[in-house]
Amino acid sequence: MSDGGMAGWSMIRSMRNQDEVSAHRLSRGTARRIVEFAHPYRRDIVVFLVTVVIAAVIGVATPVLAGDVINAISRGGAEAGSTVVRLALVIAALAVADALFSLAQRWYSARIGEGIILDLRTRVYDHVQRMPLQFFTRTQTGALVSRLNNDVMGAQRAFTSTLSGVVSNVIQLVLTTVVMLTLSWQITVLSLVLLPIFIVPARRVGRRLAEITRESYNLNANMNATMTERFGVAGALLVKLFGAPEVEARRFAGRAERVRDIGIQSAMYSRTFFVAMLLVASLAQALTYGLGGWLAVTGSVSAGTVVTLALLLTRLYGPLTALSNVRVDVMSALVSFDRVFEVLDLRPGIAEKPGAVAVPRGNGRVEFREVRFRYPAAAEVSLASLEEVTTLDRTVNEPVLRGVSFAVEPGQMIALVGPSGAGKSTLSMLIPRVYDVTDGQVLVGGVDVRDATLASLRDEIGMVTQDSHLFHETIAENLRYAKPDATDDEIWAALAGAQVADLVRSLPDGLDTTVGERGYRFSGGEKQRIAIARLLLKAPSIVILDEATAHLDSESEAAVQRALAVALTGRTALVIAHRLSTVRDADQILVLDEGRIVERGRHEELVAVGGLYAELYRTQFAVADSPTPYVDATGAEKIITMPMASYVADEALPPAAAN
């Protein structure tokens, strides 16, 4: 009954997915796209289906030969022995052939399935990497990962278990039914009478299984989300500072206990289903032996025919139960493909145009010409299913930038200041094409960034944000992310320029030290200096600093500012900052408010005007520009302020501020 058991489990799985499948509306052309997607595997699929057909034929032929053996024994005679031996050898040969075809079938199944998984995952991953940043701010990471895992696996089953199951079951069902009707239509009809007694209760069991399985999935998803949040460094710290471990444990245990209860219920429902299937099949066999035995005694059929019918019956119930849910199986596979195609059909926010040109190397000039920008609406960049909402918000966002124009000459430093939400960070994101302008132009080295190759833009532009991200890898691997072919000497030079080489040398594993999740093994200032080392290794001609020292204490800021001085030397710089020490010596300060440049000039000029910058200077910069103590050569403590210019040379820094 192994075939029947597998069919029964397939039926349960189909019933579990039935509600989800019926609720999903397939996009037009999904089937056609699947065929196109499978085209590279067409030869493998044909060979795979041939092995499935041959295996199905062997499955029906074996019981027929077993009946012939019984008939030969019943007839007796001089030739009976040789006939039995000959038939036994044929059955053995078929068994060997079946095993070989089974291996071939599994090999081709794995080859097709794993190939499809590879193609789908790589295409989805590559496509997602090209999505605009707002896509990631709106999308649930878990839902997106599910597309790369669960739905890709579901799509794979379309060409392995679903396709092979449908073909094999149809062939086996047709051949079995034809052979059984040929041998005895009375026994065949009687054998099928019990099928509804099995199918109807099985559907009820399947619906109940679907309910508790859905609840189990939701509980598991909640537990996974809880563990992901609590096991991260930031989440673990929050729990330790504000949470109660015993409350967290009770909450988690409550969900885990419910999952345990559901697991027990599911196991019992599944076992009841299989027991019922075995029971019905056994009863059908009993009817076959009863009616067939009576017909054999009366001479209507042979004993071998009865045995053949009983064996064929075990191969009839499995395909019937599996094919009773073939629509759900097929739709499940189609839905999985459709959900993957949904992601692939999202239009990437940034695309390299045909005939794109390289930005001139080392030019460093940046120009904005009447730039306007609004963030795309949710419907333009996301999917409702990835945000776990019913419908996406289609509200058109208000413009963030409204006609911004300015130019930065090579080697100049421009400071961007303004109240929160004025558009400073958004403006900086337009230069490396994290976003594209809604209207106007952004030029780098005289080339519109939309006409430039993405690789040349990446080479020309480097950025350090207020919370620079480090991957959970070694220091060397994090730095080589900017320059994969960098030598150890180049890495050490970058670390020295970032004022962090001594720290790395003091670590037991040096460059091979793992930085931890998000770089949390290092302090904020140390992590920022490693990020600056990554920028120095890249050696871009344009540097963007987005509040790179915003959340650092004065000592860490001094070290980071010293590293930044090296990073900015000879480079074009756009600096977004809330500290006066960062912007006071800028070649030009641009003051943004509500998406417009409302003031521009040097520090002294803007303070004298008495406008928005002067107000920010009084309320924000003057407070943020905290004094820094140091000990001079005589041992006396002094107070200094630290403008950017004071970090150009190491000698200009007091010893205590150089850490």
Question: What pLDDT is stored for residue 591 in this prediction?
Answer: 92
Closest CA to 653 of 570, 586, 565, 567: 565
Contact (Cβ atoms closer than 8 angstroms) between residue 571 and residue 541: yes
Closest CA to 426 of 392, 394, 400: 400
**Which three-class secondary structure state does DSSP give residue 78?**
coil
401 CB neighbour count, 10 Å cutoff: 25
∠434-440-442 over CA atoms, to 5°? 45
The CA distance from 212 to 526, in Å, is 50
In the block, residue with structure tokens 């896509």: 135
Find all residues with CB under 8 Å of 309, minimum gap 6, and list them: 67, 180, 183, 184, 187, 188, 191, 288, 292
Which region among 193-202, 312-321, 346-355, 357-366 has the lowest average model confidence (pLDDT)?
Answer: 193-202
Q: What is the pLDDT of residue 178?
A: 86
pLDDT at residue 616 above 70? yes
Q: What is the pLDDT of residues 161-203, one digit of tens each?
A: 777 778 888 888 888 888 888 888 888 887 777 767 666 666 6
CB 73 within 8 A of CB 84: yes
Q: How far is Cα 532 from Cα 526, in angstroms, rounded to an integer?
A: 10
Identify which of 473, 483, 556 has the alpha carbon closest to the alpha carbon of residue 509.
Answer: 473
Task: Delineate the domains of the chain, giving CATH numbers in brackets.
Answer: 2-345 (1.20.1560.10), 409-438+452-658 (3.40.50.300)
For the range 68-73, what are the long-range contacts, defined as Cβ-Cβ under 8 Å and sequence gap of 24 or more?
Answer: 68/304, 69/304, 70/302, 70/303, 70/304, 70/307, 70/308, 71/302, 71/303, 71/304, 71/305, 72/304
Tell me what pLDDT residue 648 has. Answer: 30
Q: Which residues of 545-583 are buried (b: 16+ CB within 10 A; e: fewer)?
A: bbbbbbebeebbbbbbbbbbbbbbeebbbbbbbbbbbbb
Q: Which residue has the tokens 């000592």?
A: 555
Structure tokens at 467: 């919370």
> Which whole number is the average pLDDT over 383-405?
77
**What global pTM score does this model have?**
0.68
**Neighbouring C-alpha atoms within 13 Å toward the C-beta of 203:** 11
Confidence label for 641 from pLDDT (cuts 50, 70 and 90): very low
Q: What is the percent of the chain with per-residue pLDDT over 70, rounded to a whole number?
A: 78
pLDDT of residue 655: 31
What does residue 153 show for φ and ψ, rounded to 5 degrees?
-65, -40
**Span 499-521, mean pLDDT?**
84
- Give pLDDT, residue 630: 36
Q: Tell me, what's the pLDDT at 167?
A: 81
**159 or 629: whose pLDDT is higher?**
159
Question: Would you state the pLDDT for residue 163?
Answer: 75
Q: Residue 1: pLDDT above 60? A: no
How many Cα neighbours within 13 Å face the side chain of 495?
Answer: 23
- Give the DSSP letter string of 291-358: HHHHHHHHTSS-HHHHHHHHHHHHHHHHHHHHHTTHHHHHHHHHHHHHHHHHHHHSPPS--PPTT-BP
Residue 556 has pLDDT above 80, yes or no: no
Give the tokens for residue 268. 């019992």
pLDDT of residue 9: 46
pLDDT(425) > 80: yes
Give the least confident one: 127-131, 271-275, 353-357, 641-645. Answer: 641-645
pLDDT of residue 458: 86
pLDDT at 579: 64
Task: Give the bridge partners for 597, in sequence order.
Answer: 592
Give the residue from 461, 374, 425, 402 showing the smallest Cα distance to 578: 425
Q: Which of 79, 7, 16 minimizes the C-alpha distance to 328? A: 16
481 contacts 196 by C-beta, under 8 angstroms? no
